[in-house]
Amino acid sequence: MTRPTIHDVARAAGVSLSTVDRVLNDRDGVREKTRSRVLEAIGSLGFERNLAAANLSRKRRYRLCFILPDGQNSFMHALEADLAEEAAAALRDFTVIETRKVPAFDAGALAELLRSLDPETVDGVAMVATDATIVRVAVRELRARGVAVVTLVSDLPGAEKQGFVGIDNVQAGRTAGSLLGRFCRGRTGRIAMVSGSMLVRDHAERRLGFEQVLRTEFPEQTLIAPLEGLDDKDRVRDQLGAQLAADPEIIGVYSMGAGNRGVAEALVGLPAGRDVSVVVHELTPYSREALLDGTFDAVLHQNSRREVQGAIQLLRSLLDAQFPPLFVQPIPVEIYLRDNLP
């Protein structure tokens, strides 16, 4: 009924509270024999430490740092706003969150920031990663300094980080491919792609999944090499607009990065009769409007609020060295069509 405490363990092992504590936190200064007696008592009683009591006693605080790309796209704005709200709420749980910005797509700047982080001030880091060796190295160093690191939204594959919170981007790309393929059914032509930059893993993965599905399931369509819009609406508008104008065979567009407004603007410029199916990422005021007026056919979305919550939760469980290491639910890709907008 009432679970065992260190008192029970101490009594069962015939030692004092402090000794139990030493074993629990594997501090040294305990004879191997004593140690095993304590461990045995813990095992037979099924003791599990009361984290709340431990944290109270030790005045534990979790100091987290979130690193986001500096930029003006709607999705990152939303992410930042959600983070601000969650940070306020997290204070109640003794979690202090600091937000830092680095220039988007700039691996050097990100690495430098990581390198500047002081383990005396920061316990854990969540970052929207730029995928580059220099970043990987900086993460490894940070971890060596005892800081927990997870990636958020865009991953940094490899063992350097301790977790990723975000959608499965390959799967998102497959979903986009499957939808766009079906939307274009009955017509044959070319498909344009717009990415932000292939330097961020999420866009690269989306492209992979998208091409996979289109090649195998919809071989009648031809893929054009992706434009790099750098998540900038003007650049996207200009490049995509030019491509569409030059190539009347384009019947579908997949935009895997930000810059939805640019995509919409490029499409508005087309001659009235031309029918282009469009799938983009992230539900924003612009993509929403474009969905409603029929310019976009589907929007794939990730819930940034949930992502922020997941990252906080994951970092805390890592810092608690919780076992089993808490399974944070993966973030699902949400699909919006004109008729199911929330």
Partner DNA sequence: TTGAAAGCGCTAACAG
Partner DNA sequence: CTGTTAGCGCTTTCAA
- Residues in contact with a copy of itself by CB under 8 A are 2, 48, 50-53, 55-56, 59, 92, 168, 171-172, 174-175, 177-179, 182-183, 186, 213, 217, 303, 305-306, 309, 329, 332-335, 337-340, 342
User: How wide is the angle at C-alpha 335 spanned by C-alphas 328 and 276, nearest 5°?
Assistant: 145
Tokens 């054009």, located at residue: 224
Exposed/middle/buried for 191, CB within 10 Å: 0-12, 13-18, 19+?
buried
Question: Closer to DNA at the Cβ: 14 or 269?
Answer: 14
Question: Closer to DNA at the Cβ: 42 or 165?
Answer: 42
State in angstroms the smallest separation of the CB of 62 from a copy of itself: 13
30 binds, among DNA, a copy of itself, none (CB under 5 to 8 A by kind): DNA
Beta strand spans in 28-187 (E): 62-70, 95-103, 124-127, 148-152, 164-165
State in angstroms the smallest separation of the CB of 313 from DNA: 21
DSSP 8-state symbol, 178: H
DSSP 8-state symbol, 331: P
58 binds, among DNA, a copy of itself, none (CB under 5 to 8 A by kind): DNA
Here's the x/- map for DNA, 44-83, by CB under 7 A: it reads as ---x-xx--xx-xxxx------------------------
Tokens 């919550």, located at residue: 309
Tokens 């907008």, located at residue: 341
Binding residue for DNA (CB under 7 A) from 19, 151, 295, 302?
19
Question: Closer to a copy of itself at the Cβ: 53 or 84?
Answer: 53
Q: Are 154 and 201 in contact (CB under 8 A)?
A: yes
By CB under 7 A, residue 118 contacts DNA: no
186 binds, among a copy of itself, DNA, none (CB under 5 to 8 A by kind): a copy of itself
Beta strand spans in the chain (E): 62-70, 95-103, 124-127, 148-152, 164-165, 190-195, 222-223, 227-228, 250-255, 277-281, 298-301, 334-336
Report which of 98, 170, 149, 177 is spatially closest to residue 330, judged by C-alpha positions.
Answer: 170
Contacting DNA within 260-289 (CB under 7 A): none
Binding residue for DNA (CB under 7 A) from 29, 219, 324, 342?
29
State in angstroms the smallest separation of the CB of 34 from a copy of itself: 27
State in angstroms the smallest separation of the CB of 134 from a copy of itself: 33
State in angstroms the smallest separation of the CB of 64 from DNA: 20
User: How wide is the angle at C-alpha 68 spanned by C-alphas 280 and 203, nearest 5°?
Assistant: 35
State in angstroms the smallest separation of the CB of 91 from DNA: 13
234 binds, among DNA, a copy of itself, none (CB under 5 to 8 A by kind): none
By CB under 7 A, residue 5 contacts DNA: yes
Q: Which residues contact 203 (CB under 8 A, 6 or more apart)?
A: 169, 195, 196, 197, 256, 257
189 binds, among a copy of itself, DNA, none (CB under 5 to 8 A by kind): none
Name the site residues for DNA (rule: CB under 7 A). Answer: 2, 5-7, 14-19, 21-22, 24-25, 28-31, 33-35, 47, 49-50, 53-54, 56-59
